[in-house]
Amino acid sequence: MLTDILVPGNRYDLLDAHPAPRPDVSVVVVHYRQPDQLARTWHALCRQTLPPVEVVIADDGSDPPPVAPTGGPPVRVVTQADRGFRAAAARNLGVAATRGEVLV
């Protein structure tokens, strides 16, 4: 497990190339009526050197809800009703839908 390795001073350059299995990384993106920003975020996620194993878009009640983008890591959209600004609740909903070892 990645957390079993001591990395003094965050000096990852001192470690062997792959000292432990790479963790499964899940990314939660909170969204509300900003499709252009979501598209930019998706583009950035797809260009990572180590892409996440999954992306969960947690929508806070957009009308219409976002469509899951294609052409990258597996992605799904979870939504909650629009009852005002509830980004934390949307984030928690997204977290509950992940399966990765590391959450971003």
For tokens 């990395």, the residue is 7
Contacts of 78 (CB under 8 A, 6+ apart): 56, 57, 58, 59, 93, 94, 97
Cut 0.85: pTM above it: no
**3-state SS track over 67-103:** CCCCCCCCEEEEECCCCCCCHHHHHHHHHHCCCCCEE
Render pLDDT for 34-48 as a digit per residue (tens, 0 to 9): 999 999 999 999 999
Structure tokens at 43: 């583009």
Amino acid code (one letter) for 6: L
Distance CA(83)–CA(10), nearest Å, equals: 41
pLDDT band for 51, please (50, 70, 90 cuts): confident
